[in-house]
Structure 1
C-alpha cells in the first residue's frame, strides 16, 4: 500500500459529521479485501471483522474516525450568498477567504467572503469576524433553486505533497488514522498464525457526539480497543510542551482514560521492534474516541495511538507519511504477538 496515495484517496471523501454515508461506502469497499466481513450500520459506522480461527479467542478493535469538521447551510440569500454554521471545532480566525465545496446534488464551489482591508473601519482589522456574520459567495443568481438549507459544506483544499515526506490536506484528522488501520490490515494478510480476532471500526460523528464509537463498540463488545487519532505536531510558533515532532513515530497515550497494562504492552512492542515513539501524558479526557469506548458495556480496555499533525482543524493539516507507517507497524507487531491476555 502506498500511504501517500491512500491518504489522497481518503481525504477526497466528503464526510462532515452526521453526513458520512457516501464516504462510509467508499471506505467499506477498501476494507472488503482485507476483512472477512464488512458492513455499514445505520449510523454511518463502517465495521469490519477478521477472525483468527481459534475458539474463545479475544478480540482487539482498531478505531479511527471517518468524520471531519465542516459546515451546514442555514440560509440561502439573494445574489448567491449563503449563511452557514460550523459542525465541530471550527476556528473562525482562519475562515475568511477560504475556498469551500457545497455538497448539493451537484457539488458547487464557493468562497467565504471577506471585506477588503481598504473598506474596513479603524480598529476592525484586529477583530475576528463571528461565523454567524460570515457569508459564502457562490456567484449563483439561482442559488435558491440549486441549494437547500441543511446541505453540508466542506473545505475545498485537495491533498498536496510537501517536501520531507509530508502531506498537506483537509481532514487528515482522522483519515491518517484510517490509512494506518488499512495498512495494518494489509500487513496482517501475510500473518496466518494470529491468536486474537481483529475488529475494525471506522466511526462516525467523533467531532460532535462520539455516537459512532459508542454504538459501534457496543455492537462488537471487544475485550480490547486501540483508538488511532492525531495529536499536535510541533511548529516554531507553537508551544514546546504537549506537542510532537513530525517523524517521531506514534505518540502513545498515558493517563486515567487509558488501560495501563495494554499501554505498557504497546510500549514494549515498540521497543522490541525498534519503532520510534513518544509518550503523551493525558491527565483526563483525551478528546478522542478512547474516552467514549472505555466505558461501553462491561468496560473496554482501551489504548490510544496518535499521529503528530500540524495545523489541526484547518484546511491545511499536515502529517508525515512515516508516522502513519510507524503506527501501522506498531499495531501489526502487537497483533501478531498478542495472545489475548495483557500483562499485569
Structure 2
C-alpha cells in the first residue's frame, strides 16, 4: 500500500474544497505614488514598472475610485514633493502632498483604509531616510523626532494607519509616544520591521524619485544574508508598540515571513516590491510565462509562508480582472 495523494486532486471542485491557503481581496494593499503638481490630470508612467504611474491628486482620486468600485479596501500612499531639502521638511508639512492626498481620499471614500508610508527619503535632497552629518553619516536619534512629526501629520490629516519604513532604531517608540501624547492611542502602526538592503528596490527608486545621492542604505537596512537579525528587529518593534510587523521584500525572504508568523502573535505583512512586480511583468511581456497564473502563485506563496497582509502592485489588476 502506498499514499494516493492524487485522490484529492481528481476534480477542480475537490481541489478547491481541500485547498489549505486562500487569498482574498482583504489581504491586499495597493501602493500609489502621488506627486505634487499644479497640472490637473497629471499621470507619469513609471518606465520600469509597466502599468504603474505617478499621479496628481485629482488623477489619484479617479484611479482609486475605479479600484474601490472593483473592491479595493486598503491603499498605501507614497508622496513625491515639488521640492526637497536636507531635512525633508515636505514630509511633515501640514499641507504636504501625502497629507493632501489623505484628506482627499478619506473625504471621497470614508471606508477606504488609508495607510501612509513614514520616511524622509522621498523628501530629502540627499535621498537618505534620515538626517545626515556633513561627512555623510546618517543620524539615527536626531531623525526620530522628524519621523514622529511625519506620522502625526499623516494621522491628523486622516490616515487610518502609519507605516514607518526608514529603519532607524527606536522609531516605532518615538511614533507611538507622539501619537499617544496627541490623542491617537487607538491608531495602529505597521512597521517595516525586517527590511533588507535589497537590489529589488530598483524600480521603486524611479517611481518615488528617492535614490540616495551618495553611498547606499546598508548602514540602516539589513544585510540579506542575516536571518536571526530579522527576529531581533521584529522583537524590538513589537516591544516598542508595533501592531503589525512587515517583511520587505517578500519573495526572496519567505523564510523570514514564516519565522515571524511562528514567533509573534501580531499580524504579519509582506511587501511584494517593485523588482518582484517588474520581473513578472517583463517575463510575461516576453511570453515566457502566464502573468495571471504567476501573480496568483507568487501571492499564494507569500500567504502560505504566513503573511496576513500583502502589499502588492498587482492589487488593482487582481480586482479589475476579478481573479479572487
In the superposition, the TM-score normalised over structure 1's length comes to 0.28
| Greater radius of gyration (CA) | 1
Answer 1 or 2: which has greater strand percent: 1
